Amino acid sequence: MLTGIVIDALDVVRVERFWLDATKGRTGGLELRFVPTAKPKPPSGKNRLHLDLAGGPGWEAEVERLVALGAKRVDIGQGDAPWDVLADPEGNEFCVLRPGHPGVLADSGLVAICLDVAETDRHAQSAFWQSEAGWHTVEYHEWGVRLRRSPSSTVSLVMGPPAAPKAGRNRLRLEVVQSDWEPGEFRDAGGNEFHVAH
C-alpha cells in the first residue's frame, strides 16, 4: 500500500517546515518523510517524481504565498501551461494547478504525485504501481495514467511522459508498506527507487 513520499534534504528541518506549510498539512493521508543527504540537487535536469498542489480559486495569491515561504519560480520548458512551476528551497520542482485542472478534487494541499514514465513503459509501470500501491486506475489517456486509492481520494498518482533522463538516485521516492517484502530500497519497472516499510 502506498503510504507516503520520501524526500532527500540537505536541511531536513527547513524542507520539512516548507512542505508542511506549503500543503497546509493536507496530504490526503500520505506521509511526507524527510531524510538527510549530503548531495544537493543537480543544477540542471528535473526530478522524475514531483508533487502537484491545488492552487484553488485564488491560485495567484497561493503562488505568492508559496514564494514567500521560500519557493522559487522555475522554467522546465512548460511554456504557456495552465499551471505554475515552482521549486522548493532545495530546488525540487512542484506544480501549482489552477482551477478546472482535470483530475483535481480539492482546492488546496497535495493533489497529485507525478512520476515520469516513458510511453513505452506505461503499461508495465501502471500494472506495477496498481499492485504495490493498492491504488486503481481511474483514467488512462494518451498523456498517461491516473491512479487513486478510491474514486473520491483527493490525491492521485499520475504517470506519464516525458520521462526525464535518470541521473543518479531520485531525490523524491514513493514509500509503500508491504508485509511480504523485506524492508529497504528497491527499483520499479522504470528504474525509480522506492522504499518498502513494514
The per-residue pLDDT for range 22-57, each reduced to its tens digit, is 999 999 999 999 999 999 998 888 899 999 999 999
Residues 161-186 as b or e (16 or more Cβ within 10 Å = b): eebbeeeeebbbbbbbbbeeeeeeee
| CATH number of the structural domain spanning residue 155 | 3.10.180
Number of domains the chain is built from: 1
C-alpha cell at 43: 543544477
Written as one string, the DSSP assignment of 21-59 is: HHHTT--TT-EEEEEE-SPPPPSSS--SEEEEEE--TTH
Range of the domain at 171: 2-39+47-197
- Report the C-alpha gap between 197 and 33 in whole angstroms: 12
Q: How much is the pLDDT for 128?
A: 95
Q: How much is the pLDDT for 164?
A: 80
Per-residue pLDDT of the chain (198 residues; tens, 9 = 90+): 999 999 999 999 999 999 999 999 999 999 999 999 999 998 888 899 999 999 999 999 999 999 999 999 998 777 787 899 999 999 999 999 999 999 999 999 999 999 999 888 899 999 999 999 999 999 998 889 999 999 999 999 999 987 888 888 999 999 999 888 999 999 998 999 999 997
Judge contact between 174 and 8, C-beta under 8 A. no
Q: How much is the pLDDT for 5?
A: 98
Answering whether pTM is above 0.85, one says yes
- Report the C-alpha gap between 29 and 87 in whole angstroms: 23
- Classify the phi-psi angles of 22: left when phi > 0, otherwise alpha if psi is within -120 to 50, otherwise beta: alpha
Q: How much is the pLDDT for 166?
A: 85
Judge contact between 51 and 113, C-beta under 8 A. yes
Q: Which residues contact 143 (CB under 8 A, 6 or more apart)?
A: 160, 161
